[in-house]
Structure 1
C-alpha cells in the first residue's frame, strides 16, 4: 500500500472538521496527515493499524491519532462482499493543534489537554468503559454548529485527558511519525494483501513477489516500514482477529485456529499466549 501524506479535501479549510462515514474501510491507503484525528466507531469491526500497532476494532472503539503517524482502519473482508448489508458508522474528527488559537494549550489551565495531545503521537486507544459515557456527545458532533463543535471537542478532550493511564492504551511501540512522503507504493500493496489474505497461507516468497522484491530486500523493507518482521506482523493480525472471533462468536477454539490461518493448534496457542498474554481458553473465560 502506498504511504501518503494526506491533505484535507480542498473544500475544507477549517482547522476543525467533523463528519460521519458510512462506508467500509475508512481509507484505502496507509496514510498520515498533519491533523490530529479522533476516530469513534459506532458500528462495524475489523483491524486497525496505527504505527507499528495491529489490533482489532469493534463498535465503541475510540482512538486518538497524533499528527503524521501512519494509520489505517480496514473492515473485515465480509464488509466488501457484493450485496453486503453490514452497517458502518464512524464519527471522524480532525483538528489542528491550534484549532482554538496559537498557543491555546500552553495556558496552564489546559496543561492536562496539552499532555494528552503530546502523548497521542503514538496513538491512544480508549475502550468502551471510556467511550460509552461520551457516546451521546460524540454522535451529535457532526450536527452541531461550528461554534458548538469547538466547545464540545474541548469538553471531550478535557474528559479524555483525565482518563487514568491504566484505562488507555498507547498503540505504537515506537515513534513512526512521518515528516515527508518517502514511502513507495509497495507498503500499500503489501498491507492490503495481508489484511485481505491473512487467513490463507502466505509464504515469505509470496509476499515478496507481491512487493516485487527479493526476500532479503523485502524483509529489510518491511522491518523499516512497520518496525516488525513479516512473520511477527502476520501472526499479530491473525491473533488479533482470533481474539475478536472469540469475543463475538461461539466457535470452538480449534476451529478459530484454522479460520484465522494457522495450521497447528499448538502454534496457535503459543502465539496467542505470547501476543495476548493468555491462552485462547483463558482469554474467552475472562470475557
Structure 2
C-alpha cells in the first residue's frame, strides 16, 4: 500500500487547494501522496529530489508531480542561519487527479489532460514562459469560490496541458518502490547527503544514518532507488557543480573542491559521464545561452 506521508488538505469536499509558503527554509520531509502537486518557487534555492532525479532549484522553478512520486525540496545550508535577507517563498497547488478527469470527461480537453497527468508521473519541470499567468491564476484561485474557482483551476490546467516547454525529471523506467518505513529512512539519508555532499562521505558513515551495515545499505539503496549509492552521490555533486559553473567567480578547480572532489581528473570524468560535457564546455555553453537570451 502506498503511503501518504503528509496531509495535502484534500478530501471529498475539497478537491484542490493552493498553499502559500513563506519561511526561513523548507522543512517538508521526503514524502509522497495520492494527489498531484504543482510547486512554483518564487524565492529561494537549494536541491530537490523527484523520483530518481536530482537537481538544484532556484527562483522561478516550477515542477508538476503526479501521485505517489517521492520528492523532497531542501534549501541550501545558508537558509538555516535564519538571515533576514534569505527567505523561501513558494506557491503550491494540490489537486485530486480523479476530480480533474471527471470534470473533463467527454470533452475535447480529455485527451490532453490525460496525457498531462501521465507525463506528470515522472515529474515535469515547466519552463518560465507560462509562469506569470499561472501565478496570477493561483492567486485568484485562493480568493475565489464556486464555479469561478473551478474555472480558474481548469484554465491553469489548460495552460499546462498545452505547453511543450518542459523537461521530464524521473527516468522513464522509474517506479516508486517505497513504503512508509522506507520513506522515513530515506528522508534521513537524503538530508544527510544534501547537507554533507561537499566532503568525503565514507560508506559506513552514511550506512549508519540508515541504521544498516554497509553491504545491506548498498543493496537496499539500489533496490529502492534503482541506482547505486555512488551514482546517486555523484549526481548530487555534479548538479551542484553545474550551478557553480554558471557563475564566473570560481575556477573549475574551485568548483570541483566545493562540490566534493579533491581530484580534478576525477571531477572532469564524473562531470562528463553525467552531462556529456567537460566542466569548461558546460560553462561556455551556459554563457552562450545566457547571451542569446539577453540579445533576444
- 8 Å CA contact 1:121–1:177 kept in 2: the answer is no
C-alpha distance in structure 2 between counterparts of 1:196 and 1:179, whole Å: 22
Local SS of the residue matching 2:93: strand
Which sections of structure 2, spanning at least 5 residues, go unmatched? 287-296
- 8 Å CA contact 1:79–1:86 kept in 2: the answer is yes
C-alpha distance in structure 1 between counterparts of 2:79 and 2:271, whole Å: 25
Local SS of the residue matching 1:237: helix
Deviation string for 1:1-53 (max 9, x for gaps)? xx863223489951111011012554431101111001111111111111111
- 8 Å CA contact 1:204–1:215 kept in 2: the answer is yes
Q: Which moved more, 1:223-232 or 1:66-75?
A: 223-232
C-alpha distance in structure 2 between counterparts of 1:138 and 1:271, whole Å: 40
Which sections of structure 1, spanning at least 5 residues, go unmatched? none
Equivalent residue number for residue 172 of structure 1 = 170
Equivalent residue number for residue 193 of structure 2 = 194
- 8 Å CA contact 1:35–1:95 kept in 2: the answer is yes
Larger RCO: Structure 1 or Structure 2 (Cα < 8 Å, ≥ 6 residues apart)?
A: 1
C-alpha distance in structure 1 between counterparts of 2:142 and 2:263, whole Å: 47
Equivalent residue number for residue 217 of structure 1 = 216
Cα pair distance change 1:142/1:260, threshold 3 Å: farther
C-alpha distance in structure 2 between counterparts of 1:225 and 1:179, whole Å: 6
Equivalent residue number for residue 162 of structure 2 = 162
Local SS of the residue matching 2:284: helix
C-alpha distance in structure 1 between counterparts of 2:162 and 2:21, whole Å: 28
- 8 Å CA contact 1:50–1:69 kept in 2: the answer is yes
Cα pair distance change 1:247/1:129, threshold 3 Å: farther
- 8 Å CA contact 2:35–2:97 kept in 1: the answer is yes
Q: TM-score, length-normalised on structure 2?
A: 0.86
- 8 Å CA contact 1:26–1:72 kept in 2: the answer is no
Equivalent residue pairs, number: 282
**TM-aligned CA deviation for residue 157 of structure 1:** 1.5
C-alpha distance in structure 1 between counterparts of 2:37 and 2:113, whole Å: 15
Q: Which moved more, 1:64-73 or 1:146-155?
A: 146-155
C-alpha distance in structure 2 between counterparts of 1:14 and 1:209, whole Å: 42
- 8 Å CA contact 1:23–1:88 kept in 2: the answer is yes
CA RMSD of aligned residues (A): 2.4
Q: TM-score, length-normalised on structure 1?
A: 0.89
C-alpha distance in structure 1 between counterparts of 2:104 and 2:11, whole Å: 27
C-alpha distance in structure 2 between counterparts of 1:4 and 1:229, whole Å: 26
Equivalent residue number for residue 79 of structure 2 = 79
- 8 Å CA contact 2:24–2:82 kept in 1: the answer is no
Deviation string for 1:95-147 (max 9, x for gaps)? 001335x6333324111012101221111111224435644434554344464
**TM-aligned CA deviation for residue 219 of structure 1:** 0.3
- 8 Å CA contact 1:4–1:29 kept in 2: the answer is no
Cα pair distance change 1:147/1:41, threshold 3 Å: farther
